[in-house]
Amino acid sequence: MTFQAEKGQFVRLTRNFFTRFFENDLLSPQADFHATLSQALGLLATPGLFVPLLLLPLLMMDAEAARSWNIKLIFVFFSMLVMGVLSILEWDALMLDHRDQTILMPLPVRPRTIFAAKFAALAVFLVIFSVDVNAGSILLLPPLETQGNMGGLANLARFTVAHAAGTIGASGFTFLLIVSVQGILINTFPPKWFRRISTGIQVISVLGMLAVLFFFPAILEEMPRWKSEGAAMARFFPPMWFVGVSEVLEGTADPAFRSLARIGLCGLGLASASSVAAYAVAYGRYTRASLEGAVDASGATSRGRGMALGALIRGLLRNPLERAVCRFSLQTMLRSPKHRLLLAAYTGTGLALVLEESVALALQSGQAWKPAQEVVMLSLPLVISFFLLSGMRFIFNIPSELSANWIFQVTERREQTDYLAGARASMMLLVVAPVAAVVVIVYGFLFDLETALIHAAYCSLLSLLLVEALVWRLEKLPFTCSYVPGRIPVVMLLTAYWVAFLFYTHVMAFLEHEMLRSRPATVICISVLLSAWCGLRAYRRRAHVKNAAFVFHEEPEPVVCTLNLGG
C-alpha cells in the first residue's frame, strides 16, 4: 500500500471516528451533525463567556482582583469539570466499539492506521472542546489583568498564553487521565469484568464531580488559608497545579506556585505517557476481545433477577400492556449502562445538593437554626425522589436500541392509557415504593414510627403527583423514540425545573413541618393530596385521547417554513 493511500485512509477514518462522538443511536436519523456539534460547542462556551462578563464591573474597578489567582482557580476548575464530564459521557467512544470492529476488520486497512486515526480523533476532540470551553476566559480575562500595566501587546500576549496554558492544560490533564484509567482497566481485567467495572467507574466519577462542584464555593473560600499554611488540600487539589502553571508563566516569584506548577507539569506528562502506553497496549487486547465478548455484553442481568421482577410485576399489574411496558422499562434501566449513567447523574445531583445543604446547616448551632434543620431533614426524601423521577422521565427519551423499535410500531394497539400506565408503574416501583420504605426505616429511628409513617405517606403522595405531571404529555413509548437536540430551549427548561424543584422540596417540606404540629392539619393535608392524586387519575382516564399514535422518530424543524400557505 502506498503512503498516499494510507494517508487517505487515515484522514477518512479520523473524520469518521470524530463524527462518531456525536452521531449515535440517541439522535434522530435526520438530525444534522453540524447542528449538533454547533449546539454543543455553543452550550459549553456560554459559561466561559458569561462569568467574565458577570465579573466585569468588579474587575474593572479593582485591577488586583482581576490578577488574583482565586479568579483563575474558578476557570481552571470549570475547565477540568467540563472536560471530565465530557470524557465520562464519551467513555464508550474512547475505544473502538463492536460496530467499528465488525466493519473495519475485513477491510484492507492496517491496524496501525486504525489506531493512529482513533488516537488522532481523540486529540482533535480534546483540542476543540478545550479551546471552546476556555475561549471566553482566554479572550476576556487577560485584558482585565493587564489594565494599567506597561508592556502593551507583548504583556497582553504573555498573560493570554499563561491563562490558556493553565486552563487548556487542566482540560488536557483530565482527559488524558481518564483515557489512561480506561486503558489500565482494559489491560488489568478480563473483558467481562471490564464492562462491569467501567460502568461503576463512570457512575462514581459523575457522583464525585458533582459533589466537588457543590462544595467548590467552600473550597474556594478556604483555599487561600490552605495555601498559606502549606496544607495538603492545596498541594493535592489538581486545579491548583494549573493555577500554578499560569502564575509562573505570568512571572510570579511565589515558591508555592512554582512547586504547584512542577507538580502540574509532571502530572500532565505522566498522564500523557500513561495514556499513550495504556491505549497502545489495550488496543490489540480490546480489539480481539470485543468481538468475542459482544454477545456476552447483552446479558448483564441474571436470570433469577429477571424471573423475580417478572413475578412481582405480574402480581401487581393485571393489564398485559401495563405489565409489558413496565417490565421493558425496568429491564432497560437495569441493563443499559448509558441509561444507568444518566440516572446516576441525576441522582448524584440530588445527593450533592442534600449533602451540601445538610453540612452547611449542621455547622450552624443555636435554637434559631433548629426549624431550618428540621425542614432540611424533611426535604431529603423529596430531593431524592424529585431527581430520580425527573431523571427517569428524561431517560425515557433516550432509546435503547433505536433500530429495534419496529416491533413496537408493528404491535402498537393505540391504547395510550395502558401503555403510559406501565411507564407510571415503573416509576412507582423503582422510585416511589423504595423511597417510602427507606423513609419509614430511617425516620423511624430519627423520630418515631407515627411521624415516619406520616412522612412516608406525605412524600409518596407528592411523588405520585409528580409522576402524573411528568408523564402527562408523554407521546412516546419509553426508550423507543429518537430525538432531535435543541427542540426545547435549554434555559427555559432549566428554569422550569428549578422552580418546580424549589416548590416540590423547600415549600412542601416547610408546609409539612407546620402540618406536623397539629393532627387535624395532618389529616386535612394528607386527604387533600390523596384527593388531588385520585382526581388527576380520573381526569386523565376520561380526557386522554386513546387513538393517538405514539411518536417513534422526532423530525427536525424544516429549514424553510412555508407558513402553511399550501393547505
Largest CA distance in the chain: 87
- Tell me the backbone φ, ψ of residue 485, rounded to 5 degrees: -65, 150
Per-residue pLDDT tens over the stretch 26-67: 444 444 555 555 666 666 666 666 666 666 666 666 656 666
pLDDT digits (tens, 9 = 90+) for 440-476: 998 888 888 888 899 999 999 999 999 999 888 787 8
Chain Cα centroid distance, residue 137: 23
430-434: Cβ within 8 A, 24+ apart: 430/330, 430/333, 430/388, 430/392, 431/385, 431/388, 431/389, 431/392, 431/463, 432/385, 432/460, 432/463, 432/464, 432/467
How long is the chain? 567
Top-confidence residue, 92 or 386: 386
**CB-based contacts of 465, cutoff 8 Å, min separation 6:** 529, 532, 533, 536
Integer Cα distance of 283 and 187 in angstroms: 9
Amino acid, single-letter form, for residue 333:
M
Q: How far is CA 544 from the centre of its chain?
A: 33
Task: Give the pLDDT confidence of 122-165 residue by residue, as tens digits.
Answer: 888 888 888 888 887 788 777 777 665 555 677 788 888 888 89
Picking from 143, 169, 172, 166, the residue whose alpha carbon sits closest to that of residue 156 is 143
Q: Judge whether 155 and 149 are in contact, CB under 8 Å.
A: yes
Give me the pLDDT at residue 173, please: 92
> What value does the mean pLDDT of the chain take?
77
Contact 512, 458 (CB under 8 A): yes
- For residue 462, what pLDDT is reported? 93
Q: Residue 308's CB: how many other CB atoms inside 10 A?
A: 11
As a whole number, mean pLDDT of residues 189-199 equals 76
Q: Is the pLDDT of residue 300 over 50?
A: no
119 HSE (CA, 13 A, CB side): 18
The pLDDT score that the predictor gives to residue 27 is: 44
CB contact set of 557 (below 8 Å; sequence gap of 6+):
484, 487
DSSP string, 513-524: HHHTT-HHHHHH
Mean pLDDT throughout 388-395? 88
Helix, coil or strand: residue 293: coil
Beta carbons within 10 angstroms of residue 444's beta carbon: 16
Spatial separation of the C-alpha atoms in residues 197 and 89, rounded to whole Å: 15
Q: Is the pTM of this model over 0.95?
A: no
Q: Half-sphere exposure (CA, 13 Å, Cβ side) for 437? A: 7
Round to whole Å and give the CA distance between 553 and 567. 24
Alpha-carbon distance 55 to 517, whole Å?
45
Kindly state the cell numbers that stand for 217.
464555593
Q: Which residues pair with 483 in a beta bridge?
A: 27
Residue pLDDT, tens place only, 334-361? 777 778 777 877 877 777 777 767 666 6
Q: Which pLDDT value is given to residue 66?
A: 61
User: 168-192: per-residue pLDDT in tens?
Assistant: 999 999 988 988 888 888 788 877 7
Residues 6 or more apart from 565 whose CB is under 8 A from it? none
Position with higher pLDDT, 378 vs 270: 270
pLDDT interval class at 107 (50, 70, 90): confident
What would the 3-class secondary structure string for 532-562 be? HHHHHHHHHHHHCCCCCCCCCCCCCCCCCCC
Question: What pLDDT does residue 29 have?
Answer: 46
Q: Sorting pLDDT into bands at 50, 70 and 90, what band is 324?
A: confident
Residue 3's H or E segment, with its range, is helix 3-20
The closest of 400, 553, 405, 549 to 28, measured between CA atoms, is 553
Higher pLDDT, 34 or 479: 479
